[in-house]
């Protein structure tokens, strides 16, 4: 089934998706799962791509530039950044430190809502 895996990788690069940029060789930690769940709840595709930039802000911006939907996400520990390609690199849409799964899910949903052009969900600090 290696061909299927190969074709899925090709489809990911062609399919319009929110891009989550990770450093080369970095795995997605389990605590980031709610972020992906929030995006998927809004029915927007998401793909993970290796972007070898150690600065998380720059990686989020490069992810947005790489995304056909113009939205990129990067994270470092509990710091999550959602970026939009039409913003300045040093001015992301969201730059949050989040350890709560519910809030991370809302952040993912809001990244997807940016694509859809609908109002954001309120992020509540608990």
What are the DSSP calls for 28-55, one per residue?
PPGGGHHHHHHHHHTT--EEEEE---S-
Average pLDDT over residues 77-83: 96
The structural domains of the chain, with segments of one domain joined by +, span 16-114
Tell me how far apart the alpha carbons of residues 57 and 53 are, in angstroms, rounded to a whole number: 9
Q: 0.75 exceeded by the pTM? A: yes
Superfamily of domain 16-114: B12-dependent dehydatase associated subunit (3.40.50.10150)
Q: Where is average pLDDT lowest: 21-30, 31-40, 95-104?
A: 21-30
Tell me, what's the pLDDT at 123?
Answer: 87
Tell me, what's the pLDDT at 97?
Answer: 96
pLDDT tens per residue, range 27-74: 899 999 999 999 999 999 999 999 999 999 999 999 999 999 999 999
Q: DSSP H helical segments within 52-99, as ranges?
A: 56-66
More confident residue, 81 or 4: 81
Average pLDDT over residues 74-91: 97
Q: Are strands 18-22 and 46-50 parallel, antiparallel or unpaired?
A: parallel
More confident residue, 7 or 57: 57
């Amino acid at each position: 089934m290696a061909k299927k895996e190969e074709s899925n990788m090709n489809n990911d690069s062609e399919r319009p998706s929110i891009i989550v940029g990770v450093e080369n060789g970095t795995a997605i930690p389990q605590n980031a799962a709610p972020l992906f769940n929030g995006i998927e709840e809004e029915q927007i595709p998401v793909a993970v791509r290796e972007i070898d930039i150690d600065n998380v802000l720059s990686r989020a911006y490069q992810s947005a530039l790489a995304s056909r939907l113009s939205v990129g996400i990067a994270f470092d520990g509990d710091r999550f950044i959602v970026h939009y390609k039409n913003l300045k690199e040093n001015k992301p849409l969201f730059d949050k430190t989040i350890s709560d799964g519910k809030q991370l899910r809302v952040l993912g949903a809001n990244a997807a809502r940016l694509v859809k052009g609908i109002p954001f969900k309120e992020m509540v600090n608990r």
